[in-house]
């Protein structure tokens, strides 16, 4: 959690009223320093806010989160990512995630763009192992990738800042993306599409962005058409907070087998609870068992290791075909993103004619051997 990275200095989780004016006063000092563009005052006020925010409770954090987020665009570049972490901590403690998300996600976009630029310039200047943000000198990296013909060297500066701060922007963005309201607004505005494209270009580099990417691809209030080939039946369901296909697989089995719509063995209640809302106890493993083979309408396999976004849209709705398992599957029960509860709701059972119509437009699942190609 982001809030774990904010020092508490031994404060109480429920601070007294006399602490609140101190934090609010420090925030006001920071706002005035930023408005005056006074670097020394910004540094002093920022340290004061950081020290007071650690022991702050939910009420205080909720009040100051949006105010800190509003300062992000005008904050000094390197310190900006640390301020974003503080905003993320406020969101985890109850600050309005939508009010805080805009500037945090804009900062993530800038950091990703900078990191991609550093990778590009690194290759152009000799390649080799990329710099370690935890141990290497950013000044040396800047000197290597800077264009000698560029007097202000701003592209190199932006690249170094992005590379050295991306992990902090990732954590702050993760904190806001755990909220469905942020995921919905960011997807509607096109912000998520841009960020996903940048993360997928970045790939598996120095920073692990897989969790954030899965969060960005999480659906909320998303319809899904499910067609069961063996029984010729169909179901319209709705996904909320489903971050991975292992989770979808278990909840489909609970909904359709457990609901008496399909034959088979209903998942263990503990497996379902862990897949929905319960926290995983790392001291023991609870095993989930597969019930189907998830297949796209064109016959390609939908892998459990992926996300529901892998399911293709057909005539405006994501469409999934269930086939018998070609082999037994099992996995550790739970959710890939523990902070997000998941749910799958049955909206209606298709009529036999509807199900037959949709199934007639699907292809048989590709053979086991072809699925791995």
How many other C-beta atoms can be found within 10 angstroms of the C-beta atom of residue 143? 12
Higher pLDDT, 272 or 5: 272
Q: What is the pLDDT at residue 308?
A: 97
Residue 126's region, left for phi above 0, alpha for psi from -120 to 50, else beta, is left
Q: Mean pLDDT, to the nearest integer, of 278-301? A: 92
Q: Which helix (H) or strand (E) holds 94?
A: none
Higher pLDDT, 19 or 264: 264
Instruction: Report how far residue 314's alpha carbon sits from residue 361's, in angstroms, rounded to the nearest whole number.
Output: 10
Instruction: Report how far residue 205's alpha carbon sits from residue 214's, in angstroms, rounded to the nearest whole number.
Output: 16
pLDDT for 20-76, tens place per residue?
678 889 999 999 999 999 999 999 999 999 999 988 888 888 999 999 999 999 999
Instruction: Report how far residue 330's alpha carbon sits from residue 348's, in angstroms, rounded to the nearest whole number.
Output: 29
Q: What is the pLDDT at residue 19?
A: 45
pLDDT for 341-364, tens place per residue?
999 999 999 999 999 999 999 999
pTM here? Answer: 0.89
**Over 4-40, what HEC string results?**
HHCCCCCCCCCCCCCHHHHHHHHHHHHHHHHHHCCHH
pLDDT for 152-191, tens place per residue?
677 899 999 999 999 999 999 999 999 999 999 999 999 9
What are the distances in angstroms from CA 330 to CA 93, 287, 288, 353?
Answer: 36, 6, 5, 34
Q: How confident is the model at residue 336 (pLDDT cuts 50, 70, 90)?
A: very high
Q: Decide the pairing of beta strands 219-228 and 317-323.
A: parallel
pLDDT for 73-128, tens place per residue?
999 999 999 999 999 999 999 999 999 999 999 999 999 999 999 999 999 999 99
Q: What is the pLDDT at residue 10?
A: 43
Say if residues 248 and 226 touch (Cβ distance below 8 Å): no
How many other C-beta atoms can be found within 10 angstroms of the C-beta atom of residue 298? 12
Task: Provide the CB-side half-sphere exposure for 100 (13 A, CA).
Answer: 31
Q: What is the pLDDT at residue 89?
A: 95
């Amino acid at each position: 959690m982001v809030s774990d990275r904010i020092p508490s200095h031994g404060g109480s989780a429920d601070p007294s009223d006399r602490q609140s004016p101190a934090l609010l006063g420090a925030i006001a000092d920071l706002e005035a320093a930023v408005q005056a563009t006074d670097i020394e005052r910004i540094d002093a006020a920022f340290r004061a806010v950081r020290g007071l925010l650690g022991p702050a409770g939910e009420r205080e954090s909720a009040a100051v989160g949006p105010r800190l987020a509003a300062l992000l665009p005008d904050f000094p570049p390197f310190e900006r990512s640390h301020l974003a972490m503080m905003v993320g901590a406020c969101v985890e403690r109850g600050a309005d995630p939508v009010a805080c998300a805009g500037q945090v996600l804009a900062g993530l976009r800038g950091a990703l763009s900078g990191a991609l630029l550093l990778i590009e310039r690194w290759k152009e200047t000799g390649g080799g192992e990329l710099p370690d943000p935890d141990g290497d000198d950013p000044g040396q990296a800047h000197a290597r990738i800077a264009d000698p013909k560029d007097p202000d060297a701003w592209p190199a500066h932006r690249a170094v800042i992005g590379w050295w701060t991306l992990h902090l922007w990732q954590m702050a963005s993760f904190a806001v993306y755990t909220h469905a309201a942020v995921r919905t607004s960011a997807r509607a505005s096109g912000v998520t599409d841009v960020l996903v494209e940048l993360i997928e270009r970045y790939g598996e580099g120095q920073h692990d962005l897989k969790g954030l990417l899965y969060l960005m691809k999480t659906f909320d209030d998303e319809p899904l058409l499910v067609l069961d080939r063996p029984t010729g039946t169909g179901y319209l369901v709705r996904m909320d907070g489903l971050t991975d296909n292992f989770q979808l697989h278990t909840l489909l089995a609970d909904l359709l087998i457990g609901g008496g719509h399909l034959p088979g063995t209903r998942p263990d209640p503990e497996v379902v609870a862990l897949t929905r809302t319960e926290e995983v106890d790392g001291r023991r493993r609870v095993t989930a068992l597969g019930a189907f083979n998830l297949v796209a309408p064109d016959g390609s396999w939908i892998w459990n290791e992926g996300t529901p976004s892998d399911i293709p849209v057909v005539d405006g709705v994501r469409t999934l075909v269930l086939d018998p398992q070609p082999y037994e599957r099992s996995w550790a029960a739970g959710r890939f993103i523990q902070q997000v509860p998941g749910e799958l709701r049955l909206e209606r059972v298709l009529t036999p004619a509807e199900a037959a119509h949709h199934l007639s437009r699907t292809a048989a699942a590709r053979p086991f051997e072809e699925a791995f190609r």
